[in-house]
Amino acid sequence: MKKILCFGDSNTYGFIAGDGGRYDKNTRWTGLLQQKLAPDYKIIEAGCNNRNGFIEHPDGDDHTGYKALPKYLKQNPDIVIIAIGINDIQKFYKPTLNTISDGLISMIKTIKTAQIILIAPPVLHDNILDGMFAFQFDKESIETSKYLPELYKTIAKDTGCHFFDFNNEIKLSDKDGLHYPPESHKYIADKLADFIMTL
């Protein structure tokens, strides 16, 4: 049985916009992926709400992606899906695109033997400024998010990673402009499962 590590932030965790709960395994994309790929694959779910990818998080190592990843790599996954980076552009941090690029490349280099699937962060919707996460993101965050898909695509090409950008194919929640609703989770799981079965 092969192992797939799904490493990311709240959209990998399955955060429910509006009530702050977690989608069950029959709704979140990691759980659906397990159902679709069983029994040949085991999914290692490693999503964490408000996890940064490349910038030190005040809540510690598990919320700091590059510090949290190595402990999951000890499980020797065959495939690593990286879906992280949107929290790094919160207004508290304001990284340059070079900071994000360098951080992502460094993270990829820590994964020695597994195949890597890189997922572009969601492009933030304007209504994030009207919801519960307005205290974390601002207009500059929204503008920066628009550059991330192409940046991730370039890095994936340069580092030999597989790449998915779902921004033109799915929608974000109308409640917060950041998180995936159930239909988006299903779409992501379907696309990833179809692709993984070709590897």
CATH architecture of the domain with range 2-196? 3-Layer(aba) Sandwich (3.40)
* Mean pLDDT of the residues in the chain: 97
Q: Which residues pair with 4 in a beta bridge?
A: 43, 79
Domain ranges of the chain: 2-196
Global pTM value: 0.98
C-alpha angle 157/143/80, rounded to 5°? Answer: 35
Q: What is the pLDDT of residue 91?
A: 97
CA distance 142 to 164: 20
> What's the pLDDT at 16?
98
Q: What is the mean pLDDT of residues 19-41?
A: 97
What is the Cα–Cα distance from 83 to 62, expressed in whole angstroms? 15
In this prediction, residues 147-169 reach a mean pLDDT of 98
Query: Cα angle at 62 between 44 and 170, to 5 degrees?
Result: 55
Instruction: Give 42's contacts (C-beta < 8 A, 6+ positions apart).
Output: 1, 2, 3, 4, 34
pLDDT in tens, 106-139: 999 999 999 999 999 999 999 999 999 999 999 9
Mean pLDDT of the region 6-34: 97
The CA distance from 98 to 112, in Å, is 23
Walk across the sheet containing 79-83 and list its strands.
41-47, 2-8, 79-83, 115-119, 162-164
Overall residue count recorded for the chain in this entry: 199
Residue 58 confidence (pLDDT): 96
What's the pLDDT at 110?
97
- pLDDT score at 81: 98
Residues 6 or more apart whose CB falls under 8 angstroms from that of 50 comprise 9, 10, 57, 59, 63, 87
From 108, 102, 78, 75, select the one nearest 88 (Cα to Cα). Answer: 102
Task: Supply the pLDDT for residue 32.
Answer: 98
- Give mean pLDDT, residues 34-61: 98
The share of the chain scoring above pLDDT 70, in percent, equals: 100
